[in-house]
């Protein structure tokens, strides 16, 4: 796993930022830079199979994505007082899964995926034997010129892993204890409102603390017109949790 971490004094609070399916850390770096300006340390791991070529995703099980986020979180937790998690799309699902297995101080989600909106998705574990890839889901962004540097094709075998990951995360949502913030674009051609409904139905009452509408953005909202709103409100959310004394928990979840 490749990653980068912005250096900061040990003991300071940190944010782990997780990119989306077939995407890249390019969609997260401006967000990370804002957190750094607000005094947080950050880490933005490259998920296994990403930022090389789409064929490299063909043999990656979703468990490797989970393991990569857990390792990145553990590395941050060893050096910082609190670790928050921010995720885009599939990165949102991984952030929620992480919150069921680690002492996550708070979670900020941008258009999180929890449901694959395609009727053939349940059959991709067999379809992958006949079809290697389909058209990309990249750059659903309203702002001209923005580029998330995603793959030009979507591997069908990886879609099968995404489908399995989402099912596991939905089943674990009642285990999330960390406060959650949700950003939702008014137009999203990648993740439908089915994922939002799954999130709100699965979380226990009181866990979803804040919902923020993004009226001028599409799926990759961290690179879109409402990016500054995401950056400011998420940093404020985490800062307020620190002020309230949340996020310092003695026993680490490992189930």
Give the residue numbers annotated as catalytic, written as ranges: 89, 188, 219
Phi first, then psi: give them for residue 205, nearest 5 degrees: -55, 135
- H or E, element range at 159: helix 156-172
Q: Look up tokens 């670790």; give the residue.
A: 83
Alpha-carbon distance 148 to 145, whole Å? 10
Three-state secondary structure call for residue 85: strand
Q: Which residues pair with 86 in a beta bridge?
A: 17, 108
Displacement of CA 53 from its chain's centroid (Å): 21
Alpha-carbon distance 234 to 225, whole Å? 16
Alpha-carbon distance 64 to 61, whole Å? 6
Neighbouring CB atoms inside 10 A of 205's CB total: 5
């Amino acid at each position: 796993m490749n990653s980068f971490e912005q250096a900061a004094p040990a003991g300071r609070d940190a944010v782990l930022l997780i990119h989306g399916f077939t995407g890249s850390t390019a969609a997260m770096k401006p967000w990370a830079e804002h957190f750094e300006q607000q005094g947080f340390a950050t880490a933005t791991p490259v998920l296994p199979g990403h930022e090389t070529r789409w064929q490299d995703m063909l043999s990656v099980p979703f468990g490797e994505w989970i393991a990569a986020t857990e390792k990145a979180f553990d590395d941050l937790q060893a050096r910082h007082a609190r670790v928050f998690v921010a995720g885009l799309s599939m990165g949102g699902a991984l952030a929620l899964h992480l919150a069921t297995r680690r002492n996550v101080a708070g979670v900020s989600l941008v258009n999180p995926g929890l449901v694959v909106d395609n009727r053939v998705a349940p059959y991709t574990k067999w379809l992958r034997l006949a079809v290697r890839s389909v058209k990309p889901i990249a750059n659903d962004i309203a702002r001209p010129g923005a580029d998330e540097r995603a793959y030009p094709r979507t591997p069908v075998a990886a879609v099968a892993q995404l489908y399995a990951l989402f099912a596991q995360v939905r089943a674990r949502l009642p285990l999330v204890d960390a406060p959650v913030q949700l950003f939702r674009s008014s137009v999203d051609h990648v993740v439908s409102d089915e994922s939002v409904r799954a999130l709100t139905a699965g979380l226990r009452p009181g866990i979803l603390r804040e919902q923020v509408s993004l009226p001028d953005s599409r799926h990759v909202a961290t690179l879109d017109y409402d990016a500054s709103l995401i950056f400011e409100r998420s940093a404020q959310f985490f800062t307020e949790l620190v002020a309230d004394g949340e996020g310092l928990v003695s026993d680490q979840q490992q189930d």
